Amino acid sequence: MPANATASALSDPAWMRRLLIATALVFLALFLLLPLVAVFAEALRRGVSAYWAALVEEDALAAIKLTLIVAAIAVPANLVFGMAASWCVAKFDFRGKNLLITLIDLPFSVSPVISGLIYVLLFGLNGLMGPYLKSHGIQIIFAVPGLVLATIFVTFPFVARELIPLMQEQGSEEEEAALVLGASGWQTFWRVTLPNIKWGLLYGVLLCNARAMGEFGAVSVVSGHVRGYTNTMPLHVEILYNEYNFVAAFAVASVLAMLALVTLVAKTALEWRFGAELAASRHK
């Protein structure tokens, strides 16, 4: 016992630890694992062939394709916007910096439905710019551009939120060192800034992507739910569910769930593979 005396003096009693771990595990099982299993169970209730048929059905394929297109535009856009915004905030001092930070967080604090509605009010037929857009034959609301805009808005903070604290902590001394050593601005960015933030950037992009593909509220408002044309996967799931087509609904939902799992696995794999480098880049 003497050998353990200090350890036991500092840690909680064994029963307490077990209780806490058990609570956490039960909570995880109830709120995460069980629903996930339920999704797949429901999806496969009529067998693999029904599951497969629901996925390769024309509207489902269109929804999957649309989701991928929207994410393929929104994620790179937010990658660039997020990096530019965090660069501004972290490396420069200017008037209105706090306002900018608040604005970056805005999409998180505003209900997604409202963000969708803003676009309808702006670009819709009766909206502020509606007549102009109509006379030029441009359709934004109830079309792909609207979906992309709403998705970009909702997922904007992910990259910036991840990078701002990281870049603030790193400061700009390394960039200054690079400049004095003769590097151009471009070389400094590629050789010094980007390598220092790449892990944070990757996290941000993974989270941004997961949300871009899973976004429901904002997209729902601007989509118009035209089957095969403006339905993303989450919207498609809702429609199928409302039509009591549970197998198909859960089949499409399972694809979304797998997407989340892939994101998680990718994140964990990267952490495991590059853990040491990650730790090194966070500390001087």
Partner 1 sequence: MAIQVSGITKQFGTYRALDSVDLEVRSGELLALLGPSGSGKTTLLRIMAGLESPDAGSLQLNGEEALGLKPRDRQVGFVFQHYALFRHMTVFDNVAFGLKVRPRAQRLPSAEIKRRVMELLELVQLGHFAERYPAQLSGGQRQRVALARALAIEPKVLLLDEPFGALDAKVRKELRRWLRKLHDEIHITSVFVTHDQEEALELADRVVVMSQGRIEQIGSPAEVYDHPSSAFVYEFLGQVNRFDCTVEGGVARIGNGALSITTDETLRGSGIAYVRPHDLGVAPAAAGPGRVSGIHVVGPDARVEIELDGLSLEAEMDRERFTSLGMVVGDRCTVQIDRARVFTR
Q: In the complex, which residues of this chain contact partner 1 (CB under 8 A)?
A: 173-174, 176-184, 187, 191-192, 195-196, 277, 280-281, 283-284
Shortest distance (Å) from residue 168 CB to partner 1: 15
Rounded-to-integer distance, Cα 223 and Cα 230, Å: 6
Shortest distance (Å) from residue 188 CB to partner 1: 8
Shortest distance (Å) from residue 176 CB to partner 1: 5
Shortest distance (Å) from residue 270 CB to partner 1: 15
Q: Is 125 helix (H, G, I), strand (E, B) or coil?
A: coil
Q: Which residue in this structure is represented by tokens 């939902």? A: 253
Shortest distance (Å) from residue 76 CB to partner 1: 24
Please say which residue, 58 or 173, places its beta carbon nearer to partner 1.
173
Please say which residue, 102 or 187, places its beta carbon nearer to partner 1.
187
Please say which residue, 163 or 247, places its beta carbon nearer to partner 1.
163
Shortest distance (Å) from residue 99 CB to partner 1: 19
- How is the chain classified by DSSP, letter by letter? -HHHHHHHHHS--HHHHHHHHHHHHHHHIIIIIHHHHHHHHHHTTT-HHHHHHHHHSHHHHHHHHHHHHHHHHHHHHHHHHHHHHHHHHHH---TTHHHHHHHHHHHHHS-HHHHHHHHHHHHSTTSTTHHHHHHTT---TTSHHHHHHHHHHHHHHHHHHHHHHHHHHH-SHHHHHHHHTT--HHHHIIIIIHHHHHHHHHHHHHHHHHHHHH--HHHHHHH---TTTT--HHHHHHHHHHTT-HHHHHHHHHHHHHHHHHHHHHHHHHHHHSHHHHHHHH--
Please say which residue, 12 or 176, places its beta carbon nearer to partner 1.
176
Please say which residue, 271 or 277, places its beta carbon nearer to partner 1.
277
Please say which residue, 197 or 218, places its beta carbon nearer to partner 1.
197
Shortest distance (Å) from residue 175 CB to partner 1: 9
Please say which residue, 47 or 195, places its beta carbon nearer to partner 1.
195
Rounded-to-integer distance, Cα 69 and Cα 143, Å: 13
* CA torsion angle 159 162 168 172 (round to 10): -50
